[in-house]
Amino acid sequence: MSPRTLQFFSVIGTLILLPAARIHGALSIGATYPVSFVDIDGNKLSTADGHVTVIVLTTPADREKAHTVGDRVPEYCLGNPDYRMITIIRFARRHTVLGQRIATALIRHRVNEEAKRLQARYDGKKIARDARKDIFVATDFDGSVSSQLGEPERATDFRVFVFRRNGELIAQWHGVPSAEQFAAAVK
């Protein structure tokens, strides 16, 4: 095979593989991503199910960053069923089934504690809703959710995504966005 022919097939092969590479690469603002998964309470969730969805992709080590994002949720989003924040906790190492159950039980306990804190915020704003029903957390032990968000299976980057009601990506950050950035993205 001549070098010219080899170069031609190399270019064609690259063009064929580009769409597949995009699936596992960074997501693009303006593109639609109907990411679907189930949270720790058994709720089936999707970025394209009619809510403005904020997804926080974190590891157990970065839970304070996720907490900071939650604190920066604009007041008009609190208790508003049109908006939803979902925290996805990604685990960098493999867990046995028993390890997954223990981790999930610990996460569920922390979620219940956070619900008490959020309920106090709701009560202060006179929002008549059960705050626990507005907290969504999913675990990602196998990388399946992370891969839908363009992340490598064992990556540990902290990420925040904002999706429109149809799954269109509005904004994304590789860290905690400022309150102003966050408010501008979700309005």
Which domains does the chain show, CATH number per domain? 29-186 (3.40.30.10)
State the CB neighbour count (10 A cutoff) for residue 82.
Answer: 10
Q: φ and ψ at 35, to 5 degrees? A: -70, 130
Stretch 19-30: mean pLDDT:
62
- Asked whether 138 and 38 are in contact (CB, 8 A), the reply is yes
Q: What is residue 9's predicted lDDT score, i.e. its pLDDT?
A: 36
Least confident window among 3-17, 43-57, 130-144: 3-17
Kindly tell me if the per-residue pLDDT of 7 is higher than 90: no
> Which pLDDT does position 187 carry in this prediction?
85
Which CB contacts under 8 angstroms, 24+ apart, belong to 144-148? 144/37, 145/35, 145/37, 145/57, 145/88, 145/90, 146/57, 146/88, 146/90, 147/23, 147/24, 148/33, 148/35, 148/36, 148/37
Q: What's this model's pTM, rounded to 2 decimal places?
A: 0.83
- Confidence (pLDDT) at 5: 37
- pLDDT, residue 95, reads 81
153 pLDDT band, cuts 50/70/90, is low
Mean pLDDT of the chain: 86
What is the C-alpha to C-alpha distance for residues 99 and 106, in angstroms, rounded to an integer? 11
β-bridge mates for residue 44, sequence order: 38
Residue found by looking up tokens 């596992």 in the block: 24
The more confidently predicted of residues 45 and 92 is 45
Output the CA–CA distances (angstroms, integers) from residue 179 to 93, 160, 166, 182, 184, in the order listed.
32, 13, 24, 5, 9
| Length of the chain in terms of residues written | 187
* pLDDT band at residue 26 using 50, 70 and 90 as cut-offs: confident
| Cβ atoms of residues 45 and 35 within 8 Å | no
